[in-house]
Amino acid sequence: MKADPIGVATGNHYIDGDHACGEGAIAAGCRFLAGYPITPSTEVAERIAERFPLVGGMFIQMEDEIASMATIIGAAWGGPKVMTVTSGPGFSLMMENIGLAVMMETPCVIVNVQRGGPSTGLPTLTAQADMMQARWGSHGDYEVIALSPNSPQECFDLTITAFNLSELWRVPVMFMMDECVGHMTEKVVIPEADKIEIVPRKMYKGKREDYLPFNFNGNGEIAPMIKAGEGYNIHLTGLTHDERGYPTLNSEAQDKNVRHLVDKILKNEEKIRLLEEDQIDGAEVIVISYGITSRVSLKAVQDARAAGIKVGTIRLIVVWPFPEKLIRKLASKVKAFVVPEINLGQISLEVERCAQGKTKTIHVPHAGGWVHDPNDILKAIKKGVK
């Protein structure tokens, strides 16, 4: 389905990542946003507060992030595509209700413009230290999808991808920007509406008695949704439930319910996977990076190649679910993986786990506040080749 032209600000823009993300959401068909202001994500909400009254959307600033997350889940079951925006401290507050969104299999997009943490940390400076939290932040066993853009243009394009993924898989999608990408101003080209592909919500249109809000068969099909007010009289709960949505509190029901939430994403990892590979074949060292660090590491890779080292790169666009099978396969073919990230080791732990000891994993940590010095990444690459 093509995007609705009313929401698409076609043309060449010179805007920052936050504004581009807002435009991407509107182009993707999002018409509801509930948020709470937090640096450095506030501009996304500000853009949307300005644009929504002109395109027929509803923006509400809630009293805190907990309310924001609860409100968007309720709104999603009223029909529209929904989004919220926050940063580290707000992300932590939203965790309980992210679990509710996962349990109710509600499509929604949660934008986290990462900043230095923990706690209040560095409100105006970049970091990438919430990556593990995106995957494990809420309690219990579950899976979500997380994306990482590396430019304002990608903030526009990948927000649309985020909405499409969340509607396809009925799962919350974490849009993990960082403050650098969010506050970086670059050229963003917004195409014509009919060049933008969006996935509409799959709605059920049959008889009330035959409707089941969930499909636990394990056949990879996702049950269609309805919206409240159409007379389907569904019941949804955060408690462990059966396919009708009724609470069923025993371990068999728990097994079926939770396995479905996990398998839905993990068994379809290859369909969800999005990454950019460069010169992987025959590489001695592969640099695995995401977000702003992927741009910084380009300089290090360039220098390493000039020095004769065969360096390949993998830029993760979908970070969760992690491309485990790919990394496992590559581990036996390279001397080292180099993982630069603006945190003290998060995705590098995943890479190390998947390498299963077949190769070295060299972390290039950075506590946050600025981007890496490319020389540090170059040093790590040279160490990997030895």
User: Which residues of the shown chain bind other proteins in the complex (CB under 8 A)?
Assistant: 6, 31-32, 34, 52-58, 60, 62-64, 66-68, 70-80, 82, 96-97, 99-100, 227-239, 246-247
**Nearer CB in complex with other proteins: 194/230:** 230
For the CA atoms of 121, 122, 127, 132, what is the dihedral angle to 10 degrees?
Answer: 20
Query: Smallest gap, in angstroms, from Cβ of residue 90 to other proteins?
Result: 14
Query: Smallest gap, in angstroms, from Cβ of residue 107 to other proteins?
Result: 12
**Could you tell me which residues come within 8 angstroms of residue 315 by beta carbon, excluding any fewer than 6 positions away?**
150, 275, 276, 278, 289, 290, 294
Residue of 88, 79, 71 lying closest to 125 (CA atoms): 88
Could you tell me the two tokens for 292? 């702003």
Could you tell me the two tokens for 56? 């027929």
Query: Smallest gap, in angstroms, from Cβ of residue 68 to other proteins?
Result: 8
H helix intervals, 267-337: 269-272, 292-306, 324-331
Query: Smallest gap, in angstroms, from Cβ of residue 333 to other proteins?
Result: 46
CB 254 within 8 Å of CB 240: yes
Which residues does residue 337 pair with via DSSP β-bridges, in sequence order?
286, 361
CB 364 within 8 Å of CB 377: yes
Could you tell me the two tokens for 365? 């940590």
**Nearer CB in complex with other proteins: 228/344:** 228
Distance CA 51, CA 234 (A): 33
Query: Smallest gap, in angstroms, from Cβ of residue 103 to other proteins?
Result: 10
**Nearer CB in complex with other proteins: 217/237:** 237
Distance CA 193, CA 312 (A): 36
**Nearer CB in complex with other proteins: 36/320:** 36
Query: Smallest gap, in angstroms, from Cβ of residue 249 to other proteins?
Result: 11
